[in-house]
Amino acid sequence: MDSAIDWHTARAMLEWQAEMGVDEAILSAPVDRFAAEEEARAKAEAAAAMPKPGQAPVRVAEPKIDPIEDAVKAAKNAADLPALQQAMADYPHCPLKKGARNLVFADGVAGAKVMLIGEAPGRDEDLQGKPFVGRAGQLLDKMLAAIDLSRDTNAYITNVLPWRPPQNRDPKPEEIAMMLPFLQRHIALANPELIVIVGNISCQALMGKRGISRLRGQWAQAEGRPAMPMFHPAYLLRNQAAKRESWSDLLEIKAKLEGLG
Ligand code: URA
């Protein structure tokens, strides 16, 4: 920007950007701050490990940490949902945690017959600490209401990942792998009779398969329970025509719930 720009022009430009919908200050190219932090940490460790003049080199045995093993242990030790939420908050290995404002654990009625599992929090969810509260979440609420479900009375909602990925990028396989033991424990503790798998990332995590257009609408199994994969509501906001298929999937879920009594 021209540094000689006057105050009024600068303000007008800022207002124009806000009108255009700019709501976050980001650069033209992404900065991987985690990588920079990691590099600085590695350099500091290397410097600390350098032998001082006259000192013999000391070999320090690095303790081996397996983030997935740690997650399995922490999840298994959680006896109930509040303990699980605390265990996730204390889990140090997922890099997404550093960039997120809040841990997004769950919303709705724990113990409900239906548990919906989305992908990861977006901006609104990160700010409020609750899943599916942005535009996609509002559509999800309407879809649930159409089959007499609501997070206020009879549905429970969570995500595969509890922290927002930077700039809403897709979660990385290693991030999913380390948080999966927590999700599995979450399902076991909430103990739903059926699961709604919302979106492709969730299919990948829970069924080991992608291809939501092919998978949706057919009952599958996830964590030993009937599971219905569905289009993500964010996809439906962009592809109105796909709402027809989602309506049919919702009716399938309603019928299954009626069959359960
Ligand atoms: N998309 C998701 O998958 N989950 C949320 O909580 C919000 C948007």
Whichever domain contains 197, its CATH number is 3.40.470.10
Q: Residue 205 domain-assigned? A: yes
Q: Residue 2 domain-assigned? A: no
* Nearest in space to 71 (alpha carbons), one of 185, 150, 155, 173: 185
What's the confidence (pLDDT) of residue 28? 67
Q: Residue 251 domain-assigned? A: yes
In whole angstroms, what is the distance from residue 74 CA to residue 44 CA?
29
Q: Residue 51 domain-assigned? A: no
Q: Residue 242 domain-assigned? A: yes
> Consecutive sets of 10 residues in the chain, 261 residues long: mean pLDDT of each?
70 82 72 80 82 74 90 98 98 98 98 98 98 98 98 98 97 98 98 98 97 98 98 98 98 97 81
Q: Residue 245 domain-assigned? A: yes
In whole angstroms, what is the distance from residue 255 CA to residue 252 CA?
5
* Nearest in space to 142 (alpha carbons), one of 254, 247, 259: 247
Count of domains in the chain?
1
The best mutation among 116, 157, 159, 164 to test binding of ligand 1, ranked by most ligand atoms within 8 Å of the C-beta, falls on 159
In whole angstroms, what is the distance from residue 175 CA to residue 120 CA?
11
Q: pTM here?
A: 0.79
Query: Which residues line ligand 1 at a C-beta cut-off of 6 Å?
Result: 118-122, 125, 131-132, 134, 136-137, 159, 199, 234
Give the domain range for residue 168: 68-260
Q: Residue 40 domain-assigned? A: no
Q: Residue 47 domain-assigned? A: no
